[in-house]
Structure 1
Amino acid sequence: MVIGAYVGTAGWSIPRQYAGAFGGEGTHLQRYASRLPAAEINSSFYRPHRPATYERWAMSVPDGFRFSVKVPRMITHEGRLKDMGEALLRFLDEVRALGDRLGPLLVQLPPSLRHEEAVVDRFLADFREAFEGGLVCEPRHATWFTDEVDAQLIRHQVARVAADPALLPRAAVPGGWQGLAYHRLHGWPKIYHSPYSLAQVGAVAGSLREALQDGREAWCIFDNTALGEATHDALELKTLLGTPG
């Protein structure tokens, strides 16, 4: 794991209104990666990608760029974490083609999925047996936000996402394993649409700085992509953090 601040958006589309902030040559991904140091691959949630596709993406970005990758819904939403060993191994075989451009894997859970200790323990144990890299979880049911669940996540070295909007106050701050801080901002008050104010982005910058000072890898992914606001917010956060590019 490389300690640093990774700021980006869900996907790497470049909205027309912000196109001038990016280079004019190359693919969308190449142009995006010229200004932002990370992106979250969400399409993996809906469909598998061939290793060759991941390899092509990895070759399109500069040294230091990282992709986080969303675990398939077949595992999280359809299988609900149960008996998913074979599907998980297929997914891991695909994403490993990113090589050193691979960042954390994101396990986003359905809002209806309650925490069941035995099911979660088995799933995370299987995951950790096959994968040693960064692993983050975004639960969306209130039963996940307890000291006991945090302790379970810590045992498996799984960071809990700091989400906005937050289901509970505890969901707004990173939890679980403290070796990695991962923020996902979906837009508020209108999810996926609303932009964040400078003050809100500044608060996230402060949280990322604290994580870095503590020796943690720090991520922030903006998911308010419907109107392109994620791109503006990510560029603004990167500026506040003073990172080059």
Structure 2
Amino acid sequence: MKTSESIRLGCAGWSLPRACWPAFPSDGTHLQRFARRFSAVEINSSFYRPHRPATYRKWAASVPEGFSFCVKVPRQITHEQRLRDCGAALERFLEEVTELGDRLGCLLLQLPPSLGFESAVAGDFFEALRERYAGPLALEPRHASWLDAEGLLDRWRIARVAADPSPITGGDQPGGWAGMRYYRLHGSPRIYHSAYATEWLERLADELRRCAQSGVPSWCIFDNTASGAAVDNALALQSMLRASGFSEE
């Protein structure tokens, strides 16, 4: 069973810690096994290096109907070019990821802490991106000035990520375009390592239920992968949602 279609639940990457293997089908690649239990995955490797179009096609063919990938936008665009003059780089990236076809569910823009909000720069970039890509888009800023960009994000239908932990006050709450929510959970207090407690996950489950009941699609991605906690937390959250009827065959 998978979580309701209005809730995309998964992890950053599809590595399966051995301790969690009994919760997954025993046959297939890690991606195939992961995709038969969860409804989404976030590809972070695209941030560091390009993947061949054939690789994206292979991944898309490996997962069942209804499974979605979120792909992280390359650091060349966000960290090196800092959203300026990115047309050619966007073209190359989108030519690759669109090979996922209808399995491409979202793009993720994670900005460096040093990149503040400049309305003209951001507006030009979002316009260039939206000319080429009309699908779901999430932004994880790490400079407090981006909290002033809510109107621009709403205009371009960009959800601001609710990140835990976030280096900016208020960054742990969703913002921007209200048509989607994206929860990105890095692990706290030790980022990328710490597991989330049951009580914390229960509060998150309540938030996701409210999103689903109000008709707002949401993504929930566990990025606390360094010690293998992400898969365990995602499984626990899935069980909480399933117990209250948010599940599908």
TM interval, shorter chain, is over 0.9
Root mean square deviation, CA, Å: 1.3
Superposition map of 1:200-219 within 5 A: 200-219=200-219
* Match among 93, 96, 115 for residue 95 of structure 2: 93
Q: Name which of structure 1's ranges 124-133 and 201-210 shifts more when overlaid on structure 2.
A: 201-210
Contact 1:40 1:67 survives alignment (8 Å) = yes
Does structure 2 retain, via aligned residues, the 8 Å contact 1:3–1:218? no
**Structure 1 residue runs of 4+, over 3 Å off?**
none
* Aligned counterpart, 1:157: 157
**How far 1:3 sits from its partner (Å)?**
5.6
Q: What residue is the counterpart of 1:16 in the other structure? A: 18
- The CA deviation at 1:166 is 2.4
Deviates more, 1:7-16 or 1:209-218: 209-218
- 2:64 is aligned with 1:62: yes
- Residues of 2 paired with 1:30 and 1:244: CA distance? 18
Partners of 2:16 and 2:156 lie apart in 1 by 36
Deviations 1:1-28 (A, max 9, x none): x961111000000011111111111001
**Matched ranges for 1:62-211 at <5 A:** 62-146=64-148, 149-211=149-211
Q: TM-score under structure 2 normalisation? A: 0.94
Q: Equivalents in 2 of 1:3, 1:129: separation in Å?
A: 27
| Whole-angstrom CA distance in 2 between matches of 1:241 and 1:98 | 28
- Cα contact 2:143–2:168 (8 A) shared by 1: no
Q: Distance in 2 between matches of 1:6 and 1:114?
A: 29
Identity over the aligned pairs, expressed in percent? 55
Normalised to the residue count of structure 1, the TM-score between the two structures is 0.96
Provide the C-alpha distance between the structure 2 equivalents of 1:171 and 1:210, rounded to a whole number of angstroms: 20
Is the 2:144–2:169 contact (alpha carbons within 8 Å) kept by the matching residues of 1?
no
State how far apart, in whole Å, the 1-side matches of 2:105 and 2:163 are: 18
Distance (Å, rounded) in 2 between the aligned partners of 1:126 and 1:202: 39
- Bigger mean CA offset, 155-164 vs 208-217: 208-217
Q: Deviations over 1:32-74 (max 9, x none)?
A: 1111111000010011111111111011111110000000000
Q: Counterparts of 2:206 and 2:190 in 1: how far apart (Å)?
A: 24
Paired residues in the alignment total 242
Residue 234 of structure 1 is matched in structure 2 by 234
Query: Which residue identity lines up with residue 59 of structure 1 in the other structure?
Result: A
Cα deviation, residue 168, structure 1: 3.7
User: Do the aligned partners of 1:3 and 1:216 also contact (CA within 8 Å) in 2?
Assistant: no
Distance 1:110 1:210 in 2: 31
CA distance in structure 2 between the partners assigned to 1:156 and 1:3 by the alignment: 24
The offset of 1:213, in angstroms, is 1.8
Contact 2:57–2:100 under 8 Å retained in 1 = yes
Secondary structure in 2 matching 1:92: helix
User: How big is each residue's C-alpha offset from its partner over 1:140-193, in whole Å with a ceiling of 9 and x where there is no partner?
Assistant: 0111113xx101100111000000012344211110001110000000000000
Q: Using the alignment, how far apart are the partners of 1:173 and 1:192 within structure 2? A: 19
Please report how far the alpha carbon of residue 216 of structure 1 lies from its aligned counterpart in structure 2 after TM superposition: 1.4
**CA apart distance, 1:203:** 1.3
